[in-house]
Chains A and B, each alone.
Chain A
Amino acid sequence: MAAGVATWMPFARAAAVGWLPLAQKTMPKPPVDKKSRSDEILFVNVSGLRFQTWKNTLDRYPDTLLGSSEKEFFYNEETQEYFFDRDPEMFRHILNFFRTGKLHYPRHECIQAFEEELAFYGIIPEIIGDCCMEEYRDRKKENQERLAEDTEAENAGDAPLPPDATLRERLWRAFENPHTSTMALVFYYVTGFFIAVSVIANVVETVPCRPIKGSIKDLPCGEKFSVAFSCLDTACVLIFSFEYLMRLYAAPSRCDFARSVMSVIDVVAILPFYIGLVMPENEEVSGAFVTLRVFRVFRIFKFSRHSQGLRILGCTLQACASELGFLLFSLTMAVIIFATVMFYAEKGTKGTTFSSIPASFWYTIVTMTTLGLLITAIHYQLLIQLLMSLYFHLQYLFMWGHVGLSDLLSCCVPQDGDGDSTPLCVKNRSAFEHQHHHLLHCLEKTTNHEFTDEVTYSEVCVTDSVGFRTSRSTSLSSQQGATTTCCSRRAKRRAFRLANSTVSVSRGSVQELDTLHVTKTPAGTQYPQSRSSLNARTENLKLNCDDYTAAIISIPTPPANTPDESLPNSPAIPGILRNSRSSTFNTQETVKISSL
């Protein structure tokens, strides 16, 4: 799109001639274009590989290294070329971005190397074209997860404790890394053993045993040997409670430990027992009590402390939570649909089991899970993803050797978006921007109205004191601080408003103007003849509205006062914030700043 704007600028300015007969005021002077207009071929030498391109091509994106005067730092006088000591293979992609306006991500390249190159040349990765964006995001996520695991592994390290470690620290160490001391290992195995015993006991309890003498009916073993089983249960619960309390004592941050998944599992495993102690032997509540005993099965989850694989599975499930959620939702939908169909199909028949729709739920579920293969086929990608992720993690961990047995579930850091965008350098206002502002200024002169924003507009409507408004807004905007807060507020409002209009949003640097524009085209109209529209990135623009370009419109003064040099020397007004381009055109005139 950049080329779109830059190329058509002379046309747009020429078309402004059409406004002239209507103008009620004189037009402002156009910005002086100091650069020579003739195009030339530039030579760029990247580690020996020589590239040639038109200067215009590079000028399309004035916010990048190659498009701005920053490249002059790399100019080699003797060989009359720009020399970069960087990867020539990557440079091909960078240059193609300038030529075509689309940034592609080469699949065979390492993502970090690619990002470093982009950062060097001043290109933000968010403008990667749609064709390569998904691949890029996937790779980035993988990379971040790997990094997270790296840091986790580093933190959990097996370095020996300092000799003056307190008992607490030693204890915690023993719990997290059982292989560090024999005692810890013993404890680890003992708890593992008792978890297994507890789970097996729960299962065996319900197996029918031979009846006691004098009775015919089969009894579940739990009732026959009720004393034995209850002793076993008590012992297990005592051990688990002891373990939990020890962990709680040793944990460096008790709050965090109490909130972690593993501790919740621990609590849920032992809670039914204690609740059972407290509850009276009442017929009514015993039903609820039996339900609680079900929770004893959660003890099996305690195994996840002992098994890497389980934790990785948990991590993976968490990562795929949205897909799983969708799977569940679609299953539910299907169940409801089919259950309804079955119910109404069998409505007339006598003696049918489908007495109501919920009754037919069970039938539907059973049938569907039998036919679950069909569902699997539909969601095969999810499963493959799961399996691949699992395999990848396991392989990585295996290669790394034993990673500390710290709670891997807590390592699933939530993705906080691509917040790693390097800040764009503050570049001087480009010639293109000057021309654009001049164009808008001409329009203002033609209609004898000025651009303003929603805030000021609504204020004007409310107060309706035009004359008073002028001086107030002037004084407001000449203060730096107020301007920047105004601008940042307006920025947010602007982005949301303009996102609904059919025009592009210009924000921040010209690179954004050039490459990102929001267009709500009528239901996917294609523009096969122009490449201008191919870089629309609607969603990015809505989210990242922090920067702003402020346009300087000078309050009309008699033309005689306007000096010849209307271009500012970009005086470094004290306190210019990043990308808040509020420099004055002319120090003698008061300025009113409105957002672009």
Chain B
Amino acid sequence: MAGCTCRCRQGVLKFIQSLRRLVFGTLTKDKIDDELEMTMVCHRPEGLEQLEAQTNFTKRELQILYRGFKNECPSGVVNEETFKHIYAQFFPHGDASTYAHYLFNAFDTTNNGSIKFEEFVMGLSTLLRGTMREKLEWTFHLYDINNDGYINREEMTEIVRAIYDMMGKYTYPALKGDVPKQHVDAFFQKMDKNKAGVVTLEEFIVACQEDEMMMRSMQLFENVM
């Protein structure tokens, strides 16, 4: 009973306080303060040595990367909106948001809606310094939107459409007909050997390794740091 009275009193006091704040207009201010507090949660990455061990970067490179990252995202994490925003600046012609979304998911290995520095650096390490197989695996995971281990036509179409979206409307030659679909058909022709309608990881890797052109391009991208 005493607890109930206490709680009642507290409730009434709180109500009066909020009324007062409402009248004097600081209610919104408090809300903003609350929000600020939530977003001020900082994430600190693991130690430099650990990261150096886990990735293929040197300490120096990690330092440079982190300085840039921290400068951009003082809170230590990138959320999807920011990510899309940043990526869009590289492709002013078209709409990069869809592709950025898939890219975000590929980097966000823990699937918690934000990319920490470790995830960022791991992704970069795979893409820039990883073995051919690691890169191909990463790419496979990028295409495999629902993470079921198979790439089906719908997923591929999504990705290809996203890529064509980045080109924008004004291309030469003009995008007539359903060019993404043709592209997807060509892709499946190349990759899906047993005509199962889906591409597995092994099929993907094998097909890519057989593709001379792709291997050459991959090598060009070595160490684009």
Contacts and interface: CB of A to CB of B under 8 A. Distances in A.
Contact of A15 (B71, B103, B170): B103
B88 A37 contact: no
A449 B171 contact: yes
B164 interface: yes
B10 interface: no
Given A22-B163, A26-B217, A532 B86 contact: yes
B170 A451 contact: yes
Contact of B124 (A4, A11, A18): A11
Contacts of B78: 529-530
A21 B72 contact: no
A4 B86 contact: yes
Interface stretch (B13-21, B22-30, B47-55, B62-70): B62-70
Nearest to A530: B82
Contact of A18 (B93, B94, B106, B175): B106
B127 interface: yes
Contacts of B174: 457, 460-461
Nearest to B171: A449
B172 A533 contact: no
A26 B216 contact: yes
Nearest to B39: A528
A423 to B, nearest CB: 24
Interface string B89-113: 1111111110000010010000000
Nearest to A531: B72
A531 to B, nearest CB: 6
- Chain B binding surface SS class: helix
Contact of A13 (B89, B213, B224): B224
B92 A528 contact: no
A14 B72 contact: no
B172 A529 contact: no
Contact of A5 (B89, B94, B224): B89
B173 interface: yes
Nearest to A445: B217
Contact of B127 (A5, A17, A23, A501): A17
Interface in A202-258: none
Nearest to B76: A529
A17 B167 contact: no
B120 interface: yes
A530 B86 contact: yes
Interface in A50-75: 54, 56
A8 B72 contact: yes
Contacts of B142: 18
Contacts of A530: 72-73, 78, 82, 85-86
Interface of B: 36, 39, 60-61, 63-65, 67-69, 71-75, 77-79, 81-82, 85-97, 103, 106, 120, 123-124, 127-128, 135-136, 138-139, 142-143, 159-160, 163-164, 166-175, 179, 183, 186-187, 191, 204, 208, 211, 213-214, 216-218, 220-221, 224-225
19 contacts: A11-B124, A13-B224, A17-B218, A20-B139, A20-B214, A20-B218, A21-B187, A21-B211, A23-B217, A37-B225, A39-B64, A56-B68, A456-B172, A457-B174, A503-B94, A528-B36, A529-B39, A531-B72, A532-B86
The 7 closest A-B pairs by CB, nearest first: A7-B68, A14-B127, A452-B172, A27-B217, A449-B171, A457-B170, A504-B89
Interface of A: 1, 3-30, 37-39, 54, 56, 436, 439-440, 443-444, 446-447, 449-454, 456-457, 460-461, 466, 469, 498, 501-506, 513, 517, 519, 521, 525, 527-533, 594, 596
Given A27-B220, A56-B67, 17 more contacts: A18-B139, A20-B139, A446-B163, A447-B167, A450-B172, A457-B172, A460-B172, A503-B88, A503-B94, A503-B96, A513-B89, A521-B85, A528-B36, A529-B39, A530-B72, A532-B82, A533-B85
